[in-house]
Amino acid sequence: MFDKYFITVIKWPLSAAAKPLLAKGVTANQITVVGFVVGMLGVMALTQALYNVALIAILINRIFDGLDGAVARLDGSASDAGGYLDIVLDFIFYSAVVFGFAVANPEHNALAAAFLIFSFMGTGSSFLAFSVMAAKRGIEQLDYGKKSLYFLGGITEGAETIGCFVLMCLWPSEFAIIAVVFGLLCWVTTGTRIWAAYRMLSKAGL
């Protein structure tokens, strides 16, 4: 919901941070992989209930997720392969964070974590399926600027997911409530995406 506004705000800082990395020969894909590794270390911290450590790692992962795209745009290396790597690792990371909370306190968190991962399947599949069809038929969604994949909006996008993870780390005892509420919002997003995508593809006669 807030991604298109959030991206506008962080575009300049990310570009500024990307320039020295580019000067040192750091590639977008290297940033993507390093960010993923840091994020997974954060997941390991979650399993040990080290929530403050995990929060730092999650935030670093998200910063790197923006930096890789900024570097790719600056050096002209944006590619389908890079976009594919970025989105796959993102989806693994999102589910891994939720799994980390389940491991930290399975008695209280497991069922809510399972529901949230189930909800992520809805948002993820509705997003990726539309991306395939949109790319196939040349339908462009440019509210987010030039991206490797085609985006459909919703009330639970990247910015909201980051916010959710931050809340979980700050108040881990409330994980179950936060997870269920966010999971329900994910299903609202999934439903509206399916409706919007189906209408768009139908109008295109596809």
Q: What is the pLDDT of residues 118-135, one digit of tens each?
A: 999 999 998 888 877 777
Question: Stretch 34-48: mean pLDDT, rounded?
Answer: 98
Question: Stretch 76-102: mean pLDDT, rounded?
Answer: 92
pLDDT-derived band at 156, boundaries 50, 70, 90: confident
pLDDT-derived band at 144, boundaries 50, 70, 90: very low
Distances in Å between the alpha carbon of 53 and those of 58, 93, 107? 9, 16, 22
Contact 148, 86 (CB under 8 A): yes
pTM: 0.84
Can you give the pLDDT at residue 4?
Answer: 55
Per-domain residue ranges for the chain?
3-203
Can you give the pLDDT at residue 73?
Answer: 85
**Lowest-confidence segment of 3-12, 18-27, 80-89, 115-124 by average pLDDT:** 3-12
Can you give the pLDDT at residue 205?
Answer: 57
Burial of 199: CB neighbours in 10 Å, binned 0-12, 13-18, 19+: exposed
pLDDT-derived band at 139, boundaries 50, 70, 90: low
- The closest alpha carbon to 63, from 97, 39, 99, belongs to 39
**Choice between 176 and 153, residue whose per-residue pLDDT is larger:** 176
For the 3-203 domain, the top CATH level (class) is mainly alpha
Can you give the pLDDT at residue 69?
Answer: 85
**H runs (alpha helix) in the chain:** 3-23, 28-47, 51-75, 80-104, 106-137, 158-170, 175-203
**Choice between 77 and 19, residue whose per-residue pLDDT is larger:** 19
pLDDT-derived band at 163, boundaries 50, 70, 90: very high
Distances in Å between the alpha carbon of 42 and those of 68, 142, 145, 182? 19, 32, 30, 21
**Choice between 113 and 159, residue whose per-residue pLDDT is larger:** 113
Query: Which are the contacts of 10, defined by CB distance < 8 A and separation ≥ 6?
Result: 66
pLDDT over 60 at 102, yes or no: yes
Can you give the pLDDT at residue 30?
Answer: 94
> pLDDT averaged over the chain?
85
